[in-house]
């Protein structure tokens, strides 16, 4: 009886997986050649590009001023404080922010906002997630007389409290999806 029950559940899992694969729904996007929808990619870029200019070409050469210059909502990391964030139209959330005399570190969450009801770049009807989101960490080192050094560490997932703000049809896209 136990073996029959396991087979039944196994068959259900296989059928559900096939149904998901056949509908064209993606559960996440990874890598530069991920196949992400061009409209959603551009929506993320509309938030990420201005942030990247501030991250990688800072107007100040010290950690506190650098962090203060970055545009985006600040999140303390508590579940209760997520209710203060407004990502209905997409946006940038900065969290896990810290600094020392010569370094700054922060994590970034970017949500695309709702995808408009337009065809794909190839002219077909769109059949995919309503939104995408990504997150990563940025580490910046400051030294007198030397160009600022900025590095990025991509994450495999985002904080659950921030993901909960996304609609159920939104999916994760790793940071490298938006490189290039």
pLDDT tens digits for 86-96?
A: 999 999 999 99
Q: Whole-angstrom Cα distance, residue 142 to residue 150?
A: 9
Give mean pLDDT, residues 98-110: 97
The CA R_g of the chain, rounded to the nearest whole Å, is 20
Q: What is the pLDDT of residue 5?
A: 44
Helix (H), strand (E) at residue 125: none
Instruction: Show the CA angle centred on residue 55, arms to residues 137 and 76, nearest 5°.
Output: 50
Backbone angles phi, psi at 23, to 5 degrees: -80, -15
**Tens of pLDDT along 113-159?**
999 999 999 999 999 999 999 999 999 999 988 889 999 999 999 99
Please indicate, yes or no, whether the overall pTM of this predicted structure exceeds 0.85: no
For the beta carbon of residue 133, count every other beta carbon within 10 angstroms.
23
The share of the chain scoring above pLDDT 90, in percent, equals 71
Whether residue 104 has pLDDT greater than 90? yes
> Looking at the predicted structure, is the pLDDT value of residue 1 above 80?
no
Tell me: pLDDT of 15 over 70. Answer: no
Average pLDDT, the chain: 85
Per-residue model confidence (pLDDT) at position 125: 94
Other C-beta atoms closer than 10 Å to the C-beta of 103 total 15
Q: Which residues contact 119 (CB under 8 A, 6 or more apart)?
A: 125, 126
| 43 vs 39: CA distance, rounded Å | 6
Which of 164, 149, 180, 123 is CA-nearest to residue 63?
149
55 contacts 150 by C-beta, under 8 angstroms:
yes
Check whether 112 has a pLDDT greater than 60. yes
Q: What is the pLDDT of residue 180?
A: 63
Tell me what the mean pLDDT of segment 84-113 comes to.
97
Quote the percentage of the chain above a pLDDT of 70: 84
More confident residue, 17 or 124: 124
DSSP letter for each residue of 131-169: EEEEEEEEEEEEETTEEEEEEEEE-SS--HHHHTTS-TT
**What pLDDT shows up at residue 35?**
77
* CA 174 to chain CA mean position, Å: 7
Distances (CA, A) of 143 to 51, 69, 73, 85: 22, 18, 27, 34
Dump pLDDT digits (tens) for 40-59. 999 999 999 999 999 999 99
């Amino acid at each position: 009886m136990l073996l029959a029950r396991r087979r039944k559940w196994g068959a259900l899992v296989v059928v559900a997986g096939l149904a998901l694969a056949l509908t064209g729904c993606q559960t996440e996007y990874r890598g530069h050649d991920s196949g992400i929808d061009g409209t959603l990619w551009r929506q993320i870029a509309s938030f990420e590009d201005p942030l990247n200019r501030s991250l990688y070409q800072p107007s100040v050469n010290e950690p506190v001023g650098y962090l203060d210059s970055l545009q985006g909502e600040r999140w303390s990391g508590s579940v209760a404080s997520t209710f203060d964030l407004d990502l209905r139209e997409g946006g940038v959330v900065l969290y896990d922010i810290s600094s020392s005399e010569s370094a700054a570190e922060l994590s970034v969450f970017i949500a695309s906002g709702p995808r408009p009801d337009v065809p794909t770049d190839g002219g077909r009807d769109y059949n995919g997630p309503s939104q995408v989101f990504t997150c990563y960490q940025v580490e910046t080192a400051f030294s007198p007389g030397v160009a600022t050094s900025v590095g990025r560490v991509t994450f495999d997932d985002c904080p659950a409290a921030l993901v909960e703000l996304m609609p159920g049809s939104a999916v994760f896209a790793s940071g490298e999806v938006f490189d290039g």
